[in-house]
Amino acid sequence: MAGLALELGLGALAKAARTRLRGQDRPQAPALSEGSAERLVAALSRARGAALKVGQLLSMADAELLPPQLQDAELLPPQLQDAELLPPQLQPLLARLRQSAEPMPGWQSRAVLDAELGRGWREQLQEFQEVPVAAASLGQVHRGRLRCGTPVAIKVQYPGVARSIGSDVENLLTLLSITPGLPKGLFAAPALRALQRELELECDYEREAQSTQKFRSLLGSDRFFRVPAVVPALSARRVLCTEWGRGAALERCRGLPQERRDQICTELLRLCLQELFQFRFMQTDPNWANFLYDPERHKVTLLDFGACRSFEKEFTDLYIEVIRAAADRDEEKILSKSRELKFLTGFESPAMESLHVQAVLLLGEPFWGSQPFDFGAQGTARGVRGLLPRMLRGRLGPPPEPSYALHRKLGGVFMACAHLGGRVRCRELFLQLHSSYTQRGNASSAEGGLQPKNGVTSSGIPECRKGP
């Protein structure tokens, strides 16, 4: 990684120098050869942990933030060829990082299973596939089948990955500290510290099992989403077993009819708003591989609840009013609520306050009118990107801690809707939720008293049934 960083860093410095010599203020994409791009992706795939997670987040970034070797604009559909928003799955190298870390050898995964479940774990399965079907930043997934015939997914954590997260983040912070030209208003350290805390929690699969069961209860009667049940007998701190999820990842749904894509995007945004303002409990990983669409049932199965967090009532009370102010284009309210939320310190210059209001209004654009918002034709990312350099120069403090995970999830949902070209009545969805939020007096319906649903017993074990 050090050699790779040196090679990439020297290329970026050379590119920056050429930019300055030409008298251009705007930095161009880093100089990255095709071979270096391949090495970058391969190194991140082997590194796993925090390094791979950062690579996965990069894979969902806006196209102009990435060098051309990590993109393939020729694959864009005609309606997006002139746009600056490149769908993540068309960044062929970085896209691998979302599902394709380097798997561990069989003896190593068996050692983890033996240590966590005891040597008799195999006797509880009719079938266990030694070769993983997916490998991610913290663990890999094997397919299996319970003795009663129920297909299951068994996630096994990489040995030592939990211990490596702290050092990964420290190394990233060191690299950032010696990187020239980073604006002070970026406040990268708080963002990486927040990512470190999240990843450390994600390494606790017992906590993930509890979060999965909680979401299964919250969405038990949902018309569109389902959550696989946990199998406690085959789950532990570094192993998690759940029912197998049916369907294809969202990035493969672009060829569906427009009406279907509109419905999927509407449900994605509806769920995101529900998680924040109704449940106050959100799955914050924006990876599209966590959403499996089943065209036969027209339903989406939700996966991977390691990145879950709660939101305090005080935060959601203010945040919902910021969105309402953006939807109503109330600039004074945007400023006052942003100060209360600590997005602004109150000591910013009038110019910085104006930039902040412009950014919030741009992000609130989907909620402006009653007509469906066309995510495929929007230019929000381009508009916000134009404001960012000046905002980073005038920013006086980091954003509130809950916003890191929240905005990562919101950004992922918006990017998914843009990729699918969905048209959504966003304002109608939001106003319905805002009304119910106000009427129930901000009651925390997600806290306690939830009964298992969808065929889960009190222990969370799925009802065994024959067949797939």
> Residues near 53 by Cβ (< 8 Å), separated by ≥ 6?
137, 195, 199
Active site residue 304: no
Q: Give the DSSP H/E element, type plus range, for residue 51.
A: helix 49-58
Query: Looking at this protein, which amino acid is placed at residue 11?
Result: G
230: β partners: 242
Distance, CA of 45 to CA of 40 (rounded, Å): 9
Distance, CA of 359 to CA of 197 (rounded, Å): 28
Distance, CA of 115 to CA of 365 (rounded, Å): 51
Let me know: does 142 contact 154? Beta carbons within 8 Å.
yes
Instruction: For tokens 């004074």, name the residue.
Output: 332
241: β partners: 154
> Residues near 84 by Cβ (< 8 Å), separated by ≥ 6?
62, 63, 64, 379, 381, 382, 385
> Residues near 404 by Cβ (< 8 Å), separated by ≥ 6?
190, 191, 194, 195
The residue from 285, 294, 330, 374 that is catalytic is: 285
Helix 49-58 vs helix 188-202: angle between axes, to the nearest 10 degrees? 120
Token duo for residue 415: 């990017």
What are the residue numbers of the active site?
A: 285
